[in-house]
A and B are shown apart, each in its own frame.
Chain A
Amino acid sequence: GQQLNQSPQSMFIQEGEDVSMNCTSSSIFNTWLWYKQDPGEGPVLLIALYKAGELTSNGRLTAQFGTTRKDSFLNISASIPSDVGIYFCAGQLGSGGGADGLTFGKGTHLIIQP
């Protein structure tokens, strides 16, 4: 089956620093999504990308859908304590029609040191 390689696995940064994480796939996805999950809760959608090459921002978050449709990155600028959590990339074969399940990356655990 498809696999998503997400890196880094964990990040220890200082408050105020920028963060960058990425996902690569062995196959093409038509939709890339980035989620954040807090302990004991379901994932919350941060950014959805539907078009190859698309660059989308949501506040301090910026994500891009790679032109090959096999990769995506997420940047967080000027990190703050509430950014702590686990970030997952997810790929979807469909084009946002809601009919396909997601393939998730293994997650990036973001830890912010005061």
Chain B
Amino acid sequence: GAVVSQHPSRVICKSGTSVKIECRSLDFQATTMFWYRQFPKKSLMLMATSNEGSKATYEQGVEKDKFLINHASLTLSTLTVTSAHPEDSSFYICSAGRPNTGELFFGEGSRLTVL
């Protein structure tokens, strides 16, 4: 079964609204989770590193005020796309590393479509 779960799997929203995507680690406690973005037929690009209890670390070029990350517990990280625009439409994927082995597990992904 899934080790890392994302919700929702698909979301459609109007331009200007905000959307929250949840990433849950089901099998282990994850102090660090990662958020990726993938455009159609393209590779995954790391957006940010989500750290439990502290601020997220964003990759160069990723707007932290646009993509709000909250990692309030060891099993949940959320990504909120604020004031979404059509160009934010994408496939967002999270991952978490199992603490002892370091094995990385990916969520099922969340497809965001902004109209």
Contact A48/B108 with A43-B93, A97-B97 known, Cβ cut-off 8 Å: no
A73 within 8 A of B: no
Interface of B is mostly: strand
Task: Report how many residues on chain A are interfacial, defined by Cβ distance under 8 Å.
Answer: 26
- Taking a contact as CB atoms under 8 Å apart, the answer to whether B43 and A105 are in contact is yes
Contact A98/B102 with A43-B44, A43-B93, A104-B45 known, Cβ cut-off 8 Å: yes
Of all chain B residues, which has the CB nearest A31? B102
Query: How far is B99's CA from A92's CA once the two chains are assembled, in angstroms?
Result: 15
Interface of A is mostly: loop
Q: Please indicate the chain A residues that have their CB under 8 angstroms from the CB of B7 in the complex.
A: none
**Taking the nearest CB of chain A, how far is it from the CB of B15, in angstroms?**
23
Q: Please indicate the chain B residues that have their CB under 8 angstroms from the CB of A98 in the complex.
A: 30, 32, 96-99, 101-104
Q: Told that A33-B104, A44-B106 touch, could you supply 9 new A-B pairs with CB distance under 8 A? A: A41-B109, A42-B106, A42-B108, A45-B103, A96-B101, A97-B102, A102-B95, A103-B46, A104-B44
